Amino acid sequence: MIRIAVQAKGRLNEESLALLAEAGISIEESKRKLLARAGDFPIEVLYLRDDDIPQAVSMGVADIGIVGLNEVEEKQFDVEIVHRLGFGNCRLSLAVPKAEEYTSPAWFNGKRVATSYPRILTRYFEQNGITAEIHEIAGSVEIAPSVGMADAIFDIVSSGGTLVTNGLREVEKVLFSEAVLIANKQLTEEKRQVVSQLMFRFESVERSRGMKYMLMNLPCDRVDDAVKILPGMKSPTILPLAQEGWCSLHVVIKENELWDKIEALKAIGAEDILVLALEKMIL
Ligand code: ATP
Ligand code: MG
C-alpha cells in the first residue's frame, strides 16, 4: 500500500484525480475526507495544500505526491522527481510596470520585488549578480506594484492575462513548471514496485493523449497508397471486407494530423471513415 499526496483543492486537484481515474484508480466517496482509500489499487490519497506536499513526501508522511515543479523547487525538500505529468503548465516570471523601460535583468538592482517564491528568486538574482530586495508575500502579488509595496513582481504566469490587467509586463521567464510526480527517496522495495506499476499506467494514459483510432474502408489496391499517407506507429492493420476487393484499414493517428490525413485518404478512395477516442496505449 502506498500513499499519494494530492492537492486538496485548487488548480491541480481536478487533473490529478482525473489522471488517477484514467489509470483505473477510483477514489471512494466524498472528497471531504482528508485520507481516502482507492477501491482497486493498493493506494490511498492524502489531500493537502500544495505547499505542504513536498515536505509530506520528504518526511514519508506520503510516499509520493503530485505537485507543481515550482513548489518543489521553492520548498527545497529532498525528494525525487519521478515524472513530469504534462498538466498545470505555467512559468515563474519577473514582471515590471508596463511603462518601465526595461532592457536587462540589471534593471532589478536596488529594486523591491514582491513574490511568494523567495528562494527561487534569490537563486536567480545570485546567478545573475543582482542585488535586489525580496519581499515575501503570500498572495495577491500582482497588485503589489500598484499599491506601492514593490517595484516589480516575481509570480506565476500562464496566459499573462493577470499581468496585463494589473498593468504589468513580463520581462524574464525564470522557471518553466508543470505538475510532477515526486517520491520519497527511501521507499521500500515493495513500495517502489507499486510506484512503478502506477507509472506504467500513467505512461499508457499519456501516450494515448492527443491520439485517435481511425478506421476506414478502401479498395484493397489502394492500401499501399494509404500506408504512405499514414506513416503511423507501426504498420496499420488491414482486414479484408466481405465485399470483394475492399479492405478495412485501422490505424492510430495524432489528432492534430487527423484532418489533413482524412483529406488525403478520401482522395485515394477511402470511405466510411470512423474516428474513435483512444483511452490507453500499452506498448
Ligand atoms: P493551495 O490552497 O493548495 O495552497 P494554491 O492557491 O497555492 O493552492 P493554485 O492556485 O491552486 O495554488 O495552484 C496550484 C499549482 O498549479 C501552482 O503551484 C502551479 O504549479 C499551478 N498553477 C498555478 N497557476 C497556474 C495557472 N495560471 N495555470 C496553470 N497552472 C497553474
Ligand atoms: Mg499553495
- Assigned domain for 283 exists: no
Name the grid cell of 183. Answer: 517520491
Q: Is pLDDT above 80 for 77?
A: yes
CB 93 near ligand 1, within 6 Å: no
- Same domain for 11 and 150, yes or no, is no
Rg (CA), the chain: 25
The DSSP secondary-structure symbol of 151 reads S
7 alpha carbon, closest ligand: 1
Q: How far, in Å, is the centroid of ligand 1 from the Cα of 11?
A: 5
- Assigned domain for 282 exists: no
DSSP-assigned states of every residue in 193-233: HHHHHHHHHHHHHHHHTTEEEEEEEEEGGGHHHHHHH---S
Please report, for the domain that includes residue 237, its CATH number: 3.30.70.120
3-state helix, strand, coil in the chain (%, to 5): 35, 35, 35
Q: How far, in Å, is the centroid of ligand 1 from the Cα of 52?
A: 13
For position 233, what pLDDT does the model report? 57
CA-CA-CA-CA torsion sign (208, 210, 215, 219): negative
- Same domain for 121 and 159, yes or no, is yes
- Same domain for 54 and 154, yes or no, is no
Which residues are found with C-beta within 5 Å of the ion, ligand 2? 50-51
CA–CA dist 88, 100 (Å, integer): 30
The DSSP secondary-structure symbol of 236 reads P
**What rounded mean pLDDT belongs to the chain?**
94
For position 202, what pLDDT does the model report? 94
Instruction: Examine the fold and report which residue of 158, 177, 196 is the final residue of a domain before the chain moves on.
Output: 177
For position 232, what pLDDT does the model report? 61
pLDDT band, residue 72 (cuts 50/70/90): very high
CA–CA dist 242, 186 (Å, integer): 59
CB 10 near ligand 1, within 6 Å: yes
For position 32, what pLDDT does the model report? 67
CA–CA dist 57, 91 (Å, integer): 23
- Same domain for 98 and 173, yes or no, is yes
- Same domain for 172 and 182, yes or no, is no
48 alpha carbon, closest ligand: 1
CB 163 near ligand 1, within 6 Å: no
Q: How far, in Å, is the centroid of ligand 2 from the Cα of 187?
A: 26
- Assigned domain for 63 exists: yes
For position 283, what pLDDT does the model report? 80
Ligand 1 pocket mutation, candidates 9, 12, 176, criterion most atoms within 8 A of CB: 12
Instruction: Examine the fold and report which residue of 161, 177, 193 is the final residue of a domain before the chain moves on.
Output: 177
Calculate the CA dihedral of residues 207, 49, 93, 206 and round it to 10 degrees: 0
- Same domain for 151 and 273, yes or no, is no
Q: Give tens-digit pLDDT for 133-152.
A: 999 999 999 999 999 999 99
Name the grid cell of 148. Answer: 506601492
Q: Which residue is closest in CA terms to ligand 1's atom 22?
A: 88
CA–CA dist 168, 179 (Å, integer): 26
For position 33, what pLDDT does the model report? 81
Q: Give tens-digit pLDDT for 16-69.
A: 999 999 999 988 766 568 988 888 899 999 999 999 999 999 999 999 999 999
φ, ψ of residue 215 in degrees (nearest 5): -130, 150
Predicted TM-score (pTM) above 0.75: yes
Q: How far, in Å, is the centroid of ligand 1 from the Cα of 88?
A: 8
Q: What angle do CA 33, 54, 204 make, to 5 degrees?
A: 80
> What does the pLDDT average to over 161-189?
97
CA–CA dist 222, 233 (Å, integer): 20
- Same domain for 50 and 184, yes or no, is yes
Higher pLDDT, 178 or 282: 178
CB 54 near ligand 1, within 6 Å: no
- Same domain for 155 and 258, yes or no, is no
Q: Is pLDDT above 90 for 95?
A: yes
CB 141 near ligand 1, within 6 Å: no
CB 7 near ligand 1, within 6 Å: yes
Residues in the chain, how many?
283
Q: How far, in Å, is the centroid of ligand 2 from the Cα of 19?
A: 20
Q: Give tens-digit pLDDT for 5-29.
A: 999 999 999 999 999 999 999 887 6
pLDDT band, residue 230 (cuts 50/70/90): confident
Query: By three-state DSSP, how is residue 97 classified?
Result: strand
Q: Which residue is closest in CA terms to ligand 1's atom 1?
A: 49
Q: Give tens-digit pLDDT for 246-264.
A: 999 999 999 999 999 999 9
Contacts of 12 (CB under 8 A, 6+ apart): 6, 50, 66, 67, 68, 87, 88, 179
Domain residue limits at 18: 2-86+178-207
- Same domain for 20 and 143, yes or no, is no
Ligand 1 pocket mutation, candidates 11, 14, 154, criterion most atoms within 8 A of CB: 11
- Same domain for 126 and 165, yes or no, is yes
Please report, for the domain that includes residue 64, its CATH number: 3.40.190.10
- Same domain for 222 and 147, yes or no, is no
CA–CA dist 159, 143 (Å, integer): 17
- Same domain for 201 and 67, yes or no, is yes
Name the grid cell of 146. Answer: 500598484
Q: Give tens-digit pLDDT for 129-138.
A: 999 999 999 9
CB 90 near ligand 1, within 6 Å: yes
Number of domains observed in the structure of the chain: 3
Answer for the pair 280, 208: CB distance below 8 angstroms, yes or no. Answer: yes
- Assigned domain for 27 exists: yes
86 alpha carbon, closest ligand: 1
